[in-house]
């Protein structure tokens, strides 16, 4: 019985997020504006979940940010202006894909740097291989045979 409940909980988790997004009161009446608001929301990070867009998150802050985006879209603001407003308020962290600028170069270069670092470490590790141990002497072989007999 417990397994059934655990299975139901895991199956219901994705639904909770989907229900939060499809709230009809949250959507704009114009389908074009709603699609534009969703596209903008998919570019913005949920500051609570941090690994989801505000469109995918069920957090209260994400709901508030979706509402703000929809207000700006309904007011006729451009996508760039809406994203700039969010960045001015929350910083570049609110973007799921931060811009490529001097402040974020290390962030963008970190995967390549990690690969290069791993290759350098591997090269040094392979280069410093120890020689194989010397073969056992006759006395050591007799001692080994004696140990294996007992």
Listed by start position, the domains of the chain span: 1-96, 99-127
Q: Are 25 and 63 in contact (CB under 8 A)?
A: no
Angle at 99 between CA 98 and CA 100, to 5 degrees: 120
CATH number for the domain formed by residue range(s) 1-96: 1.10.8.640
Alpha helices (runs of H) in 1-150, residue ranges in sequence order: 2-21, 31-41, 60-74, 79-90, 105-127, 138-149
Considering only CA atoms, give the Rg of the chain: 29
pLDDT string in tens for the chain (150-residue length): 777 667 666 666 665 544 445 566 678 878 888 999 999 999 999 988 878 899 988 888 889 999 999 999 999 999 999 999 999 998 888 888 877 888 778 878 899 999 999 999 988 888 877 788 889 999 999 999 999 987
Q: Are 96 and 105 in contact (CB under 8 A)?
A: no
| pTM, 2 dp | 0.57
pLDDT at 96: 86
């Amino acid at each position: 019985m417990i397994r059934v409940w655990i299975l139901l909980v895991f199956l219901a988790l994705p639904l909770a997020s989907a229900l939060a997004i499809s709230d009809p009161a949250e959507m704009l009446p114009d389908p074009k504006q709603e699609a534009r608001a969703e596209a903008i929301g998919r570019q913005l990070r949920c500051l609570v979940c941090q690994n989801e867009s505000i469109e995918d998150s069920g957090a209260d802050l994400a709901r508030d940010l979706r509402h703000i985006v929809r207000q700006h879209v309904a007011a006729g603001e451009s996508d760039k202006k809406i994203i700039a407003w969010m960045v001015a308020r929350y910083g570049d962290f609110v973007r799921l894909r931060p811009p490529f600028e001097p402040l974020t170069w290390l962030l963008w270069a970190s995967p390549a740097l990690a690969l290069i670092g791993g290759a350098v470490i591997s090269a040094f590790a392979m280069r410093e291989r120890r020689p194989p141990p010397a073969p056992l002497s006759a006395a050591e072989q007799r001692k080994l045979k004696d140990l294996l007999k007992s």
